[in-house]
Amino acid sequence: MERSNETRIERAQQVKKKRRRLILTINLVLISAIAITTVLSMKIRQEQSSSAMPKLAAVNAKQPQSIDPADPHKQVTKKDQVGNKEPENRDPSDSHNEKSSGEDTKASQAASAAALQKAKVVYLTFDDGPNQYTDQILDILSKNDIHATFFMIGSQLRDEKSSVERLIHEGHYAGLHSMSHSYSKLYKSGGSDHFIQEFKQEQALLYKLTGVKSSLIRAPYGSAPQIGYNFRTAIYEAGFKMWDWTVDSKDWSYEGKPAKVIEQVKRQIHRKQEVILMHEKKQTVQALPQIIAYLQHQGYSFAVYKPDHHVVVNFGKDIRL
């Protein structure tokens, strides 16, 4: 009897032990499941929030691509053009939000991030003014309620002071395009000293005439190939930013042929962010309304250069500029 009692007690104890182990195992499984779920959901949230800040960070890291550095000037000699290779044309897929605000809630940040990824932005730029066409260009821009960026030649600023003032007053950006626009003066030495000196001179002159301190330059004839790394370092150290372009309208070469200018622009437009090179020329004035209409139709919004929302657009892909 005693023996069988003992066996029963032992069995009962074994059953209890098994149950306890089973409960323990179930608890462990449950706890690990909860832990895994928590970790996973945290990861997913992290991923969502990092992808919700999409292109803004990329803007500074990535560089828009160049298209055609041959800024339009007949002053360029054959010899000058020999080394003038066209940089490769690639999609910059940069975008940038002109209207970001620090107080956004998470939801609206995500929404604006989504909008940002979809947004197509175009910067119209006009070189070599101010001149007799500046007011006509301003009239067209005003009529369409859009703003543009002008790269003006310093030696012309005084004579066209009222157009320059109007341009600034109406919300366009006054960029710098050197005093002389002379290839030999700006680049023949190979050094950056004269180049920097001309741009500083123009910066001071514009400031004297309008009270505006401009820091964005466009190198005459584009920055490639004549402006190398050390040259760019000097530009950076002088406190300038430098823009080339992504679309070359080649407008300067189509005298009397505005349809050709329009065709050039249409052919090259495809990126999420475009910077179109144009000049203050008669055929450009004639082509401009149709170019604007085309870009609107393609879903682009028009942006003007803003130092606080600088985007990198140079052929050297130099993020310092």
**10 Å Cβ neighbour count for 73?**
16
Question: Per-residue string for binding with Zn ion, 298-317, x by CB under 5 A?
Answer: --------------------
Total of chain residues touching Zn ion, rule CB under 5 A: 4
Q: Looking at 68, 71, 94, 127, which residue is catalytic?
A: 127
Which of 68, 94, 127, 198 is in the footprint of Zn ion by CB under 5 A?
127
Residue 194: active-site member:
no
Beta bridge partners of residue 273, listed in sequence order: 121
> How far is residue 36's CA from residue 177's CA, in Å, rounded to a whole number?
60
Residue from 92, 129, 220, 258 that binds Zn ion (CB under 5 A)?
220
**Using rule CB under 5 A, residue 129 touches Zn ion:** no
Q: How far is the CB of 128 from Zn ion (least distance, A)?
A: 5
Distance CA 230, CA 248 (A): 26
User: For Zn ion, which stretch binds (CB under 5 A), given 6-14, 39-47, 66-74, 83-91?
Assistant: 66-74
Q: How many CB atoms lie within 10 A of CB 141?
A: 22
Two tokens at 272? Answer: 């999420």
Per CB under 5 A, the segment of 28-36, 70-78, 168-176, 256-264 that binds Zn ion is 70-78
- Minimum distance, C-beta of residue 166 to Zn ion, in the bound complex (Å): 21
3-state secondary structure at position 86:
coil
**CB 154 to Zn ion: min, Å:** 12
* Element holding 175 (H helix, E strand): strand 173-176
Q: For tokens 């990824």, what's the residue?
A: 117
Angle of the 193-210 helix axis to the 229-237 helix axis, nearest 10: 30
Nearer to Zn ion among residue 87 and residue 220 (C-beta): 220
Cα–Cα distance measured from residue 110 to residue 279, given in angstroms and rounded to the nearest whole number: 39
φ, ψ at 126 (rounded to 5°): -125, 120
CA distance 290 to 111: 32
* Interaction of residue 248 with Zn ion, rule CB under 5 A: no
Q: Least distance (Å) from Zn ion to the CB of residue 186?
A: 11
Q: Of 118-126, 141-149, 193-201, 212-220, which part binds Zn ion (CB under 5 A)?
A: 212-220
Residue nearest Zn ion, CB atom distance: 127
The first and second tokens of residue 254, run together, are 């189509």
Residue 305 exposed, middle or buried by CB count within 10 Å (0-12, 13-18, 19+):
buried
The single residue of 147, 177, 181, 279 carrying the catalytic annotation is 279
Residue 270 Cβ vs Zn ion, minimum distance, rounded to whole Å: 25
| By the rule CB under 5 A, 128 interacts with Zn ion | yes
- Annotation marks residue 279 as catalytic: yes
Q: Closer CB to Zn ion, residue 244 or residue 274?
A: 244
Q: In whole angstroms, how close is the CB of 72 to Zn ion at the nearest point? A: 6
Chain position carrying tokens 């499941």: 33
> Which residues are marked as active site?
127, 279
**What does the binding site for Zn ion look like in residue numbers (CB under 5 A)?**
71, 127-128, 220
